[in-house]
Structure 1
């Protein structure tokens, strides 16, 4: 009898840990004939950035899969985030991929993340004759689907797996296609993390109880300039110093490089704060478990919510107001994660104090923002969005131009220019 294969796709260690937790919970059924993990390195320069299967701790996950294959090697020298097969190439490329993976017996299931964009969308378009499970490894699951999916892919998606990071909040992702969400338990994830972490703390010399800054890659995404992102990290560090923190651990994002760490060291030296820099390939959650930092600070990283939800650590945001203002276009998929972090978590002030956000109906807010981001995909949310805006106004989370375009606010009349006002005064004086 020919073996049937389950194919799992992952690009981050956090995502692979989420898959491992789901496997351990039996979400994918008893172990069948064959399981392949297809890993993709989506860094800007993958040639000099370790892939997830090269990261410390991946060995603890390896036994859950029969084989580990590299998507980068399959499509080299093309970049995973940029290449997709043209329509005329799909049949041939699909057969080549199936042959390369040894899928002669067919695919029992394809499991991918970030289905709306390459490489996951590319892989799903090539491996066509199978059901698809989508899993989310962060706060983006609570936002709307970034781009419309082809019917051939959307019609095969059977479920959305996600960690229950915000209790009571239902994911919008893929809901327009009738896909039902299913949670992966925090207990299962913590058990997997325990395997990955072991007794390591990342080799930084960091001590338990210190504060921790989570870096992102906001400048690489074009949200902030590199200088602005450096200032954001420096502001976090100054606030922690004002709070009395003598030592701080900085966790760079894997895709951000080491530049921000170098600049932050200069700020730390000027402040007299001891700064340790974590290994960017080790998940932040490993440090949460091993070091139990007294405070975790970031902008809108999913790590802030995992720290609070899964590890009962204090977490705070910094810079979300600037990011919410800068995100463009309005439907930028980072908007819901930034909104959740800003509305849910305390804000770290310059003097080191923590300011609680104003009370908010988070579910209503996320649904209103989600409607404004993708109104055509979620017309059923229009009345809820209008009700939220009537009750709370458009401040902070909405753009008036967007609301006007959707008919949720009257168009804002442009302010008259100084020259126009002068002309009208002269006209009235001469009449």
Structure 2
């Protein structure tokens, strides 16, 4: 008689009576942020709660996306948790970005999840990213009595909440945990609901990045890149996937980054493409590198860009508006420069697109490599940044922040004619809001009233 097959080890231990904390992540960078927060004691002593890491793959075709479990450094981070859960597998065949339980189904789905994840009857606390969309909204709906903590792992935390939240969700959010990527700039995210931001300590996050880099010390991709003795790193973002650029335009953007680095004197350059970018993106870069006499190394393994910073210590990081630019500057002291930021900002639609604040921050703080700017570490936010970000944020989501109208009007009255400020705003939108600099009207309500009168005339005719 054949022996019984060995039972696969459980991905999560059975319920033991302790409260449960579920940490939902979709990126290794986000998981690293949570690891730093745990190390800093922001979720209490480890023995006080059972901690489960819930991984979701939110790509358009999740089955073809890079799995977090395959990325260098994942095991170090996962070791901080008592178990790992797979959201995609749990809700299969539904897509994580599209599915959420209907309110009347919430009790049923909570029972399903408690059974599938061996939660028993323990109280559950949810730590999620992007609470305004699924899967975070789905989790909040399935556990309507659970406290919520939101963490933000990038520059979008400085912008307004992109969608309105149901009061039943908003009233349960305890805080917004975020990295201090722009010291002195306060996040707008969830501020309209009275949620306070809380910093993840720099030292804790830097230590987690060092752990990941140590794990990657012998990685063939890193060893190969380090052997080229690079002095500059270029960051790809795959903006074509967000419909911000065409594939050809994004390819040309990367070429422009290379030209800028070469013009600044760099002769060994590394390109870190976005994990979702097609392989062909590096073809045009290689041709340009040959023309420019630059040694190009493509770092396309399952690695965070921060792993490269730790090992190779470049003298320049170039990007469009990637959060990794500020990670390089804040945590490693590497000078940064931008390419193409203003063009993407100019064509970004709709105005409330949540990429607008990251673009605004980078455009305002980071030197333009093609415009002759000197790469630098941005440092603390200058006095000019906060009023600009708040004014842009108000124009993006004015109904959510009515208390910011007067300060926005005052700021625009003083600065709307300044070219360095004007390109951050749409004149038609300013007109609709009755703000200085708007098309055809200046002053409270006048632009909106004019547009409404025009609509009324159209209907009558």
Q: Same fold (TM over 0.5)?
A: yes
Counterparts of 1:116 and 1:189, CA distance in 2: 25
Preserved CA contact (<8 Å) 1:343 1:360: no
Preserved CA contact (<8 Å) 1:10 1:113: yes
Is the aligned partner of 1:372 residue 2:395?
yes
RMSD value, Cα: 2.1
- Out of 372-381 and 198-207, give the one that drifted further: 198-207
Moved over 4 A (4+): 350-357
Residue by residue, what CA displacement relative to the aligned partner does 1:66-121 show, whole Å, maximum 9, x if unpaired? 10011111122222122223344333223212221122223341100111111122
Which residue pairs with 2:21 in the alignment? 6
From 259, 271, 285, the counterpart of 1:264: 285
Task: Pick closer, same or farther for the CA change 1:191–1:114 going to 2, 3 Å.
Answer: same
Which residue pairs with 2:56 in the alignment? 40
Is the aligned partner of 1:206 residue 2:221?
no
Preserved CA contact (<8 Å) 1:10 1:37: yes
> Which secondary structure does the structure 1 equivalent of 2:174 belong to?
strand
Is the aligned partner of 1:329 residue 2:350?
yes
Residue by residue, what CA displacement relative to the aligned partner does 1:159-213 show, whole Å, maximum 9, x if unpaired? 1100111111110000011101110011100111111110635533123552000
Which residue pairs with 1:25 in the alignment? 40
Alignment of 1:342-421 (within 5 A): 342-349=363-370, 361-393=384-416, 395-409=422-436, 412=439
Alignment of 1:12-411 (within 5 A): 12-31=27-46, 32-198=48-214, 200=216, 203-204=220-221, 205-207=224-226, 208-279=229-300, 281-349=302-370, 361-393=384-416, 395-409=422-436
Q: Offset of 1:137 from its aligned partner? A: 0.2
Counterparts of 1:221 and 1:407, CA distance in 2: 31
Counterparts of 2:127 and 2:240, CA distance in 1: 30
Q: Offset of 1:130 from its aligned partner? A: 1.2
Q: Offset of 1:157 from its aligned partner? A: 0.3
With normalisation by structure 2, the TM-score equals 0.85
- Out of 181-190 and 261-270, give the one that drifted further: 261-270
Counterparts of 2:196 and 2:374, CA distance in 1: 41
Task: Pick closer, same or farther for the CA change 1:349–1:13 going to 2, 3 Å.
Answer: same
> Which secondary structure does the structure 1 equivalent of 2:422 belong to?
coil
> Which secondary structure does the structure 2 equivalent of 1:56 belong to?
coil
Preserved CA contact (<8 Å) 1:243 1:351: no
In the comparison of the two structures, how many residue pairs are matched?
413
Counterparts of 1:412 and 1:113, CA distance in 2: 37
> Which secondary structure does the structure 2 equivalent of 1:265 belong to?
helix
> Which secondary structure does the structure 2 equivalent of 1:105 belong to?
coil
Counterparts of 1:148 and 1:329, CA distance in 2: 16
Preserved CA contact (<8 Å) 2:239 2:245: yes
Counterparts of 2:132 and 2:158, CA distance in 1: 14
> Which secondary structure does the structure 2 equivalent of 1:72 belong to?
helix
Counterparts of 1:103 and 1:233, CA distance in 2: 47
Task: Pick closer, same or farther for the CA change 1:326–1:355 going to 2, 3 Å.
Answer: farther
Residue by residue, what CA displacement relative to the aligned partner does 1:402-428 show, whole Å, maximum 9, x if unpaired? 1011110476359xxxxxxxxxxxxxx
Unpaired segments ≥5 residues, structure 1 = 415-431
Unpaired segments ≥5 residues, structure 2 = 1-15, 442-461
- Out of 118-127 and 304-313, give the one that drifted further: 118-127
With normalisation by structure 1, the TM-score equals 0.91
